[in-house]
Amino acid sequence: MKSVPFKQTELGPIPVDWEVKRLGDVMTMLRNNTYAREMLTEEVDGVFNVHYGDVLIKFGAIVDFEQDSIPCLKSGVKLKQDFMQDGDLIFADTAEDETVGKACEVLGLNGRKAEAIKQGMMQELLTGKTRLCEGNGGGR
């Protein structure tokens, strides 16, 4: 394995070809919603919905809409305007344990609609002003 040189930054050591940027300079926070689990169905025939509890427990670094079991909103549920897209990040900004701050990258939507649920201030959905991982699956 090739040795990668590091440089010292305000965040600590990082690879020399990386840059430190403020999250707000490369991402935009999208509006989330407050759908209860009772508004979800396992029938995959509508708008997908990622619950923050699933971000904390069910998913790893990737939420893959092609491979993972993700519920949809029941018909008749009023939709928001912001939908996830491949490459977006979901951050759980509140938890009762060390999972706080967990992030998942969204992959496999391929143009299908999906929303991320927000319970109070427990999840933030960020979309890239520029794509950070350009379709390579980031953490894969």
Rounded-to-integer distance, Cα 94 and Cα 52, Å: 9
Asked if 34 contacts 118 with a C-beta cutoff of 8 angstroms, the reply is yes
The whole-angstrom distance between residue 99's C-alpha and the CA centroid of its chain comes to 14
The pLDDT score that the predictor gives to residue 68 is: 92
The pLDDT score that the predictor gives to residue 81 is: 67
The pLDDT score that the predictor gives to residue 8 is: 95
Rounded-to-integer distance, Cα 131 and Cα 114, Å: 18
**84-118 pLDDT per residue, tens:** 888 888 887 777 888 778 888 889 988 888 776 44
Q: Give the pTM.
A: 0.69
The pLDDT score that the predictor gives to residue 129 is: 54
Q: Which residue would you say has higher pLDDT here, 17 or 128? A: 17
Asked if 106 contacts 131 with a C-beta cutoff of 8 angstroms, the reply is no
The DSSP symbol for 33 reads: B
The residues with which 117 forms a beta bridge, in sequence order, are: 33
Q: Token pair 């018909």 is at which residue?
A: 75
Lowest mean pLDDT across 24-28, 78-82, 85-89: 78-82
**28-76 pLDDT per residue, tens:** 877 677 788 888 888 877 788 888 788 888 999 999 999 999 888 888 8
The pLDDT score that the predictor gives to residue 1 is: 67
